[in-house]
Amino acid sequence: MNMFHNALRKIYYRVFDPLRDRLRRGLVVGKNFAMFDGVILDYSHPWHIEIGDDVTLAPRVMIIAHDASMKKYVNYARVGKVKIGSRVFVGAGSIILPGVTIGHDVVIGAGSVVSRDVPDSQVVAGNPARIICTLEEFLRRKRDEMVRVPCFGEEYAERNKVTPAMKQEMNVRMKDRIGYLV
């Protein structure tokens, strides 16, 4: 019975608590790390992944530290260290491939495939991910946009039980399709 219990516990942590499992097996993460639903951190090689402070991985981000595509041909899988600096946001559905280093103060657009290193203070997007602009320029554009579109306080967030009427109000006020939420 004890062997069965241990096997179930291993399955539980792999499926329901992947972060705890990966940390136990060598993944390194800094302070204020946020990981949303569906994030995949390489199961086979988590000890090759290092993530800095204040990093957010949006839903369905995938970080891969190995590539077995050549295994049947050359009898080896390729492995590579993945290092993510501090103050990095990785957009939903992005994929970070083996051997990539991402600098500090980086924004990676949703759906990007990061196959090459990203220097500090850049915004990248696309497949393959390319530099779009500096972080400073990106923030300036967004601050300018915030002057023209509605901005909503914390009371409009799902975590604060936004009401149906408030949801309707947000949609009406966002006539240009965009708004900002604290």
Domain with CATH 2.160.10.10 in the chain: 25-134
User: pLDDT > 90: what percent of the chain?
Assistant: 85
pLDDT at site 176: 78
Indicate which residues carry an active-site annotation: 66
**Beta-bridge partner residues of 113:** 95
Tell me if the domain spanning 25-134 has CATH number 3.30.413.10: no
pLDDT at residue 102, as a whole number: 98
What pLDDT digit, counting tens, does each position of 21-67 carry?
A: 899 999 999 999 999 999 999 999 999 999 999 999 999 999 999 99
Cβ-in-10-Å burial (0-12, 13-18, 19+) of 41 comes to: buried
pLDDT greater than 90 at residue 115:
yes
Q: How do residues 70-113 score in pLDDT, each as one tens digit? A: 999 999 999 999 999 999 999 999 999 999 999 999 999 999 99
